[in-house]
């Protein structure tokens, strides 16, 4: 009985890791598509969101089956419930990667240059790094790395305010189409949300390692 239970827990862990890789690849490709004006890559990201949603359903179903049919001890119960919270944030990141890709397609229809992006590039880099390091910390049980990630959301917020100021300036100076400026601002907003979700996941990783809630 315990062996079968362990197999289910291992399967749950494997699926979570697989979903994490899918979502990380999705946001990385969305950022690359933005910086390289790669329409085909943006389309791939937009269309791949369905696969991420399907994986969330599979993991949630398995997690609920474990909770309802097995008798997990405290540590196992914590792992399963933490997994359910993590996949919710991962799914939302996948949605936002798809939203960014949709905006990239709109921007390409009107034409833009990578130089128009301003601080978006720096914001995207640190947001992607947050997610990558969070998943690395989960895989390795690295508490120090988890705590490092939890300090970076403030940097994402700083970048967001910087992008907002740049967009306001661009609109005032009529540097390029107002619609482009607003889409760039929306991309920054999605990146800010991705940073928030990465922070949520890091807090769950912290809890899974320490059995304590993270306090700033």
Tens digits of per-residue pLDDT, 138-161? 989 999 999 999 999 899 999 999
CA dist 109 → 102, 174, 184 (Å): 11, 19, 14
Mean pLDDT, the chain, rounded, equals 90
Domain boundaries, the chain: 2-210
Tens digits of per-residue pLDDT, 19-40? 999 999 999 999 999 999 999 9
Fold (topology level) of 2-210: Methane Monooxygenase Hydroxylase; Chain G, domain 1 (1.20.58)
Do 23 and 97 contact (CB within 8 A), yes or no? yes
Which pTM was predicted? 0.91
Residue 167 pLDDT class (50, 70, 90 cuts): confident
State the Cα–Cα distance between residues 62 and 172, nearest whole angstrom. Answer: 53
């Amino acid at each position: 009985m315990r062996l079968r239970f362990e197999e289910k827990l291992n399967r749950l862990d494997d699926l979570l890791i697989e979903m994490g890789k899918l979502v990380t690849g999705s946001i990385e490709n969305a950022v690359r598509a933005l910086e390289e004006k790669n329409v085909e890559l943006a389309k791939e990201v937009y269309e791949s969101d369905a696969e991420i949603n399907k994986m969330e359903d599979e993991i949630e179903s398995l997690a609920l089956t474990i909770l309802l049919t097995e008798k997990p001890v405290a540590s196992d119960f914590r792992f399963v419930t933490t997994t359910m919270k993590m996949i919710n944030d991962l799914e939302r990141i996948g949605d936002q990667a798809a939203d960014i890709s949709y905006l990239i397609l709109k921007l390409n229809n009107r034409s833009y240059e990578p130089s128009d992006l301003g601080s978006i590039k720096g914001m995207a880099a640190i947001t992607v790094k947050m997610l990558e390091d969070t998943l690395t910390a989960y895989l390795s049980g690295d508490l120090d790395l988890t705590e490092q990630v939890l300090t970076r959301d403030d940097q994402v917020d700083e970048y967001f305010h910087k992008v907002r100021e740049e967009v306001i300036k661009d609109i005032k100076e009529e540097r390029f189409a107002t619609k482009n400026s607003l889409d760039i601002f929306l991309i920054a907003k999605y990146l800010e949300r991705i940073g928030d979700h990465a922070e949520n996941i890091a807090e769950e990783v912290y809890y899974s390692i320490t059995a304590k809630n993270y306090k700033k």
